């Protein structure tokens, strides 16, 4: 076995070759890197997280308690719990929030939520959201959420279009934190247990004309995302979606007027229940107004919700005639 050679001494010339080339980024120490300001991270490296204050308002209306976050106005109102021993069928977020613009063969999915500037203001019993026009969608909208003393919220939407649109719809949705098994729709003279699978959006249209709107290509964005569309041919009897459990004496109902609601739906992929508002041709420089309600109803059975709906219809149509 040959003897081991002694290690070679490092010469100044060899050390010079191993020095970083001019212009090459040097490794920074963790202390120096942490001191960099937000947004100044190295290329390919995310900037350090930043905290900012968020205005948060808590409200109590009848038997409901919830929250409004003004720094994120498109999320609308959140129902978090019930008071006075009532049981909320399901907590829900973004209650009746404006999420989609739709027109003949054209789908602006999430356009008002993500593509339109929105400002919010708070009054004693109401919150007002103002949505600016979005690219390719000449629609300015307002949404006024007015708290109801019996527990719930009335929302009045106004859509002003600078250009005419064929078959214009505004999609209003409520987000459920968990997949629901207690959702009901009244169709064909009876209550139907409405279910949508994890890759499906199920529609209940107002009539055949509203069903044709669903099939005209406006929802192609969902198809491209792998979400199927199912249209129930019998449609709805009442434009209303109800969350109710058989062991509960309370139901949470989302309702609209028949003449202002083209369809209702359940989206199993995003866990939302939705209402399609307007559903008609709108002339240029005109305004379409719709009113919807989310209400906590005392209901030992599902039919107990219907009188609450009829009272809403009476109030809404009386107010509109004034």
Checking if the pLDDT of 320 tops 60, the result is: yes
- Show Cβ contacts of residue 195 under 8 Å, excluding neighbours closer than 6 positions: 181, 183, 202, 266, 268
d(C-alpha 64, C-alpha 153), whole Å: 10
Cβ burial 84-107 (10 Å sphere, 16+ → b, else e)? eebebbbebbbbbbbbbbbbeebb
CB 190 within 8 A of CB 284: no
Average pLDDT over residues 215-237: 96
More confident residue, 313 or 11: 313
The token duo for 141 is: 């909208």
Q: Please tell me the predicted confidence (pLDDT) of residue 179.
A: 64
Average pLDDT over residues 88-107: 87
Grade residue 3 by pLDDT with cuts at 50, 70 and 90: very low
Q: Please tell me the predicted confidence (pLDDT) of residue 75.
A: 64
Q: Please tell me the predicted confidence (pLDDT) of residue 62.
A: 81
Grade residue 149 by pLDDT with cuts at 50, 70 and 90: confident
Range scoring the smallest mean pLDDT among 140-144, 146-150, 155-159: 146-150
Average pLDDT over residues 230-257: 92
d(C-alpha 218, C-alpha 203), whole Å: 13
Q: What are phi and psi of 311, to 5 degrees?
A: -65, -40
Q: Please tell me the predicted confidence (pLDDT) of residue 1.
A: 42
Q: Please tell me the predicted confidence (pLDDT) of residue 87.
A: 67
The token duo for 67 is: 């929250």
Checking if the pLDDT of 303 tops 90, the result is: yes
Chain position carrying tokens 């929302």: 155
Average pLDDT over residues 108-124: 89
- Show Cβ contacts of residue 210 under 8 Å, excluding neighbours closer than 6 positions: 235, 262, 263, 276, 279
Q: What is the pLDDT of residues 12-42, one digit of tens each?
A: 544 444 544 444 434 444 444 444 444 445 5
Q: Please tell me the predicted confidence (pLDDT) of residue 92.
A: 82
Average pLDDT over residues 259-267: 97
Q: Please tell me the predicted confidence (pLDDT) of residue 71.
A: 66
Average pLDDT over residues 149-170: 94
Please state the pTM of the whole predicted model: 0.80
Neighbours of 201 (CB within 10 A): 23
The token duo for 172 is: 């209003």
What domains does the chain contain, in order, with CATH numbers? 98-321 (2.60.40)
Cβ burial 128-145 (10 Å sphere, 16+ → b, else e)? bbbbebbeebbbbbbbbb
Grade residue 66 by pLDDT with cuts at 50, 70 and 90: confident
- Show Cβ contacts of residue 32 under 8 Å, excluding neighbours closer than 6 positions: none
Range scoring the smallest mean pLDDT among 59-68, 229-238, 263-272: 59-68
């Amino acid at each position: 076995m040959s003897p081991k050679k002694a290690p070679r001494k490092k010469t100044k010339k060899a050390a010079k070759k191993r020095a970083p080339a001019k212009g090459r980024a040097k490794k920074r120490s963790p202390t120096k890197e942490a001191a960099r300001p937000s947004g100044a991270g190295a290329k390919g490296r995310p900037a350090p997280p930043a905290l900012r204050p968020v205005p948060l308002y808590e409200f109590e209306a009848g038997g409901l308690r919830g929250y409004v976050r003004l720094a994120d106005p498109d999320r609308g109102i959140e129902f978090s719990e019930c008071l006075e021993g009532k049981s909320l069928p399901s907590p829900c977020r973004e209650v009746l929030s404006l999420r989609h613009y739709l027109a003949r063969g054209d789908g602006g999915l999430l356009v008002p939520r993500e593509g339109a500037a929105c400002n919010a203001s708070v009054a004693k019993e109401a919150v007002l959201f103002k949505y600016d026009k979005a690219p390719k969608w000449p629609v300015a909208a307002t949404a006024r959420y007015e708290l109801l003393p019996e527990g719930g919220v009335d929302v009045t939407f106004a859509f002003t279009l600078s250009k005419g649109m064929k078959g214009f719809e505004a999609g209003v949705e409520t987000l459920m934190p968990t997949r629901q098994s207690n959702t009901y729709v009244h169709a064909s003279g009876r209550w139907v247990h409405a279910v949508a699978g994890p890759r499906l959006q199920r529609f209940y249209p107002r009539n055949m004309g509203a069903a044709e709107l669903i099939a005209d290509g406006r929802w192609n964005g969902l198809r491209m995302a792998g979400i199927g569309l199912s249209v129930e041919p019998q449609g709805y009897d009442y434009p209303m979606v109800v969350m109710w459990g058989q062991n509960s004496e309370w139901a949470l109902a989302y309702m609209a007027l028949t003449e202002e609601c083209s369809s209702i739906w359940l989206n199993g992929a995003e866990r939302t229940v939705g209402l399609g508002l307007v559903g008609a041709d709108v002339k240029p420089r005109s305004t379409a107004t719709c009113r919807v309600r989310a209400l906590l109803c005392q209901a030992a059975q599902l039919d107990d919700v219907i009188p609450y709906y009829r009272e809403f219809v009476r109030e809404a149509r009386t107010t509109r005639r004034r």
